Structure 1
Amino acid sequence: MDIDNTCGMLIRQIHNLLEKMSNKDLKEKGLTLVQVSALFSINDTAEKKVTFKELEKILHLAQSTTVGIISRLEQKNLVTSYIDDNDKRIKYVRITELGEQCCKEAEDSMLKTETFLLSNLTEIEKVLFKDLLEKVNNTLK
């Protein structure tokens, strides 16, 4: 069996290359992939804010890691954090206008990368490829 040609290894290689491309793009902006993931998670909420606890669960990260990510995003003025007026135990993080702009730029970059990734496929192959990836993903959930 050629281990380098198994589906799992091909998916891993694609993931690694996409991550490398993303990190190169983000490094120019002084961000990491997990920081952008946090920004997207906050930006995708109706009120553009989440509690630290909610963000930990969304990102599947430890409390200390989440605090560090939010701290670095605050230093870049991409988010603000504050304590709930009614319950001092609850801490919120809200995305700023600059953070929302960062999400828009990251989204544009992701779209460009995906267009490049799928550029050798026909329209039918693109639909089939996405459907198959969703099936595999659902199997693993």
Structure 2
Amino acid sequence: MYFDLDKCVGHITENVIKQITEAFGKRLENTEITRIQWIALYHLKSNKIMSQRDLSNLMYVKDSSAGRLIDRLERDGLIKRERNNSDRRIIYVELTEKGDQLITKLLPYGEKFNSDLVKGISEEDLIIYEKVLKKMLSNVTE
């Protein structure tokens, strides 16, 4: 039996994801933040205040990676941290006014990128695409 890596759906998907990720990062090059910082600020804008662990879970990154990211965002005055008074192990993060203004200014980058990404693809095809991705994920996580 012959396995062709170039025809492997997982390999193809991984390569496409890397290229899409890099393309969005390039769109943000002339802004004040990176792609991963944009994503963190987006989640904080959407959720107002959340624990550091919840943020790392939403971003699918390790707690240690989220910690370093949050350190940078806090250093740049974009977020602030606050310990939970009843459980000092829990750290909440939220946007500062500066962070809120920045992500509000940069949200159109995400909107434009997504619009460019799906250009020429019908709504029906996008629905099928999402169903197929969810099915593939369930196939390997169940």
For the criterion TM > 0.5, the same-fold answer is yes
Task: Give the alignment's TM-score, normalised by structure 2.
Answer: 0.74
Unaligned 5+ runs, structure 2: none
Q: Tell me, what secondary structure is at the counterpart of 1:30?
A: coil
Number of matched residues?
A: 139
Q: Could you tell me which residue of structure 2 aligns to residue 128 of structure 1?
A: 128
Instruction: Give the superposition deviation at 1:23.
Output: 1.2
My pick for the range that moved more, 23-32 or 59-68, is 59-68
**Over the residues paired in the alignment, what is the CA RMSD in angstroms?**
2.7
Q: Could you tell me which residue of structure 2 aligns to residue 78 of structure 1?
A: 78
- Stretches of 4+ moved more than 6 A in 1? none
Q: Could you tell me which residue of structure 2 aligns to residue 7 of structure 1?
A: 9
Q: Could you tell me which residue of structure 2 aligns to residue 49 of structure 1?
A: 49
The 2-side partners of 1:105 and 1:136 are apart by 35
The 2-side partners of 1:14 and 1:133 are apart by 13
The 2-side partners of 1:59 and 1:123 are apart by 26
Unaligned 5+ runs, structure 1: none
Change (3 A) 1:98 1:56: same
Instruction: Give the superposition deviation at 1:19.
Output: 0.8
Identity of aligned residues (%): 22
Task: Give the alignment's TM-score, normalised by structure 1.
Answer: 0.74
The 1-side partners of 2:88 and 2:131 are apart by 46
My pick for the range that moved more, 124-133 or 17-26, is 124-133
Instruction: Give the superposition deviation at 1:105.
Output: 4.5
Counterpart of 1:28 (choices 27, 30, 45) is 30
Change (3 A) 1:136 1:103: farther
